[in-house]
Structure 1
Amino acid sequence: MDTVRSKDGTLIAYERSGTGPALVLVHGTTADHTRWERILPMLEQTFTVYAVDRRGRGQSGDSAAYAIEREYEDIAAVVNSIPGPVNLLGHSYGALISLEAALRVTNLNRLVLYEPAIPAGLPMYPPGARAGIQALLDTGDREGALLAFYRDVVEVPEDQLAVLRKDPSWAARLGSAHTIPREFADEDYIFEPSRFMSLDAPTLLLEGEKSPRYLKAATEAVHAALPASRIVVMPGQQHIAMSTAPELFVRLVTGFLLGPAEPARVGKVGGQRG
């Protein structure tokens, strides 16, 4: 693991592997860099991959008080430390962080966001979800808290949850389950489309056909704001296609990152799928 120092002095760790254009991977809630192990061998054939441990998990440091803004700075620090153009891929909470980090870097090539967790007019969490998860953590039931998050918040069906529990990252998820409550901070995030009008890096927005409505609405909102984005819906998938359809996920990501450039569109209509 290599490290880079974030703006507030926190050391952020990442695992570097593979050869080719740079690709930074930013995981979502509960995970660490091992979240990508199922697809890493495929990505390494084409890219130099930088799989980040977000702050508070894995080998990355943390701060005494949590603020989501520090995570934007963390990912920007990683991207800015890499020579040349960098591709950035974020999932869920990590996609929100990546979107904001994209405004703070100067060497972004292309951006991939898989269902960024932003408020978009629909309730994001069931009433009492955060308190319920915290209560489970307070009793030491990390797995119960993790399962409650995936079942009640992300709405992952049982068959796909079974796949996730066999994923190499499950042990790391248990280890970082205590970070779940602080990541309800995305519910308070204010998405201002005008801030992203100049973010003209070609952007792929991935969406699961069976994902929760609030994540679909968030994806549409980001698409409407970005001048050079398009949405691709993954048939039969939900929020964890890296685990349930790894070949499909890698094919879409690789095809987009290595494909021809797509020009920014002026006056794009919100909801247009591009």
Structure 2
Amino acid sequence: MARVGGVAVETIGSGPGMVVVPGNNRRAHHYGRLARALSGAHEVHVIERRGRGESAGRDPAYTVESDADDVLAVLEHTGSRVLFGHSYGGLVALHAGLRQPVDGLIVYEPGVSLDGSFGASWMPEFNRQVEDGRQVAAMTTFLRETGLLPFKTRPLLWAISWLMLRGPGSHEAREMMPLTPAELGEIVRLDSDGSRYAAIASRTLLLGGAKSPTYLTGVLPRLAGLLPDADYTILPGLDHNAPDENAPDTIAEQIRRYLVRGERHPRYSSTE
């Protein structure tokens, strides 16, 4: 990995540069398949956000703009003109886009809350559990309240959380858990009517999956109506982890079609 300022950056491929911003509880390597799928047409630079891996620690006075600073530094260093963000990384990408236009801004289910769409009543309990070091309990709360898994029963969610945090290869999840409260706090702090995003001048593609919770996909048509040059697509059969785990090739194809072929996406929502 190369280093740009305080962040490590993993680079693959050749061609016009693209910067990828990982989501909450994600590392750069989680986007390896997506980067490889795009590497034939782009030089892909995946950021290791602060507090993770070889990147510097995160400032206690963290805000989303701290991540946006790093994104803008990587865009400048690499000469990249395309930006992709997933989940919370999508929120970071939108805020970077507010500060600097790019040729293409693509986000998948960005962590944007509009008029209270992201319910936060459970966060004090979650934050206490993280602060007390009760990580399995905290992950169970997180999974139950965010609806990112199709399971609802607490015993099953507890078992999944235990595997995520105590099973093989779980050290990364344990290390990233303390970073989550501040990021969720930023989503809540930035809740608004979305009018701030009307200042994004970049051509923008908003993607989501039909199997994702509605609080993640319901903001996409609203954002598409606010941004001056934006399209949105809800992709059938995909969930929140399509870019990093379940369908990176599909997401790469959407990005290629939008950028390489210059294809316009219709403003529609499909749940077929």
Q: How does the TM-score come out when normalised to structure 2?
A: 0.82
Aligned-partner Cα distance in 2 for 1:169–1:100: 32
Distance 1:38 1:142, change over 3 A: farther
1:40-189 equivalences under 5 Å are: 40-61=35-56, 62-83=58-79, 85-105=80-100, 108-125=102-119, 127-128=121-122, 130-158=123-151, 171-184=171-184, 185-189=186-190
Q: CA deviation at 1:33?
A: 0.8
| Residue-by-residue CA offset, 1:69-108 (whole Å, 9 max, x unaligned) | 222222111112222x5210001111111011012235x1
In structure 1, distance between residues paired with 2:224 and 2:140: 30
> In 2, Cα distance between the equivalents of 1:147 and 1:36?
24
| Runs (5+) with no aligned partner, structure 1 | 6-10, 264-270
Q: What residue in structure 2 maps to residue 241 of structure 1?
A: 242
Query: Per the alignment, in what secondary structure is the counterpart of residue 38 of structure 1?
Result: helix
Cα displacement string for residues 2-23 of structure 1 (whole angstroms, at most 9, x for unaligned residues): 2222xxxxx1221111112111
The C-alpha deviation readout for 1:157-209, integer Å capped at 9, x for no partner, is 24xx98x96xx996533321111111122111044655444533221110111
Unaligned 5+ runs, structure 2: 152-156
**Alignment partner of 1:206: what SS?**
strand
CA contact (8 A) 1:112 1:253 kept: yes
Number of matched pairs = 255
- Cα distance in 2, alignment partners of residues 170 and 78 from structure 1: 29
* 1:41/1:221 CA distance change after superposition, 3 Å: same
Q: Secondary structure at the match of 2:233?
A: strand
Q: 1:240 to 1:222 in 2, by over 3 A?
A: same
Contact preservation (8 Å) 1:37, 1:169? no
What secondary structure, in the 3-state scheme, does the structure 2 residue paired with 1:63 have? coil
Q: For residue 28 of structure 2, what is the amino acid of its counterpart?
A: H
After superposition, the CA RMSD in angstroms is 2.9
What is the TM-score normalised by the length of structure 1? 0.81
The answer (yes or no) to whether the contact 1:122–1:217 under 8 Å persists in 2 is no
Is the 1:33–1:53 Cα contact (8 Å) retained in structure 2?
yes
In structure 2, what is the equivalent of residue 16 of structure 1? 11
Q: In 2, distance between residues paired with 1:137 and 1:123? A: 24
Contact 1:80 / 1:105 at 8 angstroms: preserved in 2?
no
Contact between 1:28 and 1:91, CA under 8 Å: does it hold in 2? yes
Pair 1:71–1:241, CA change in 2 (3 A): same
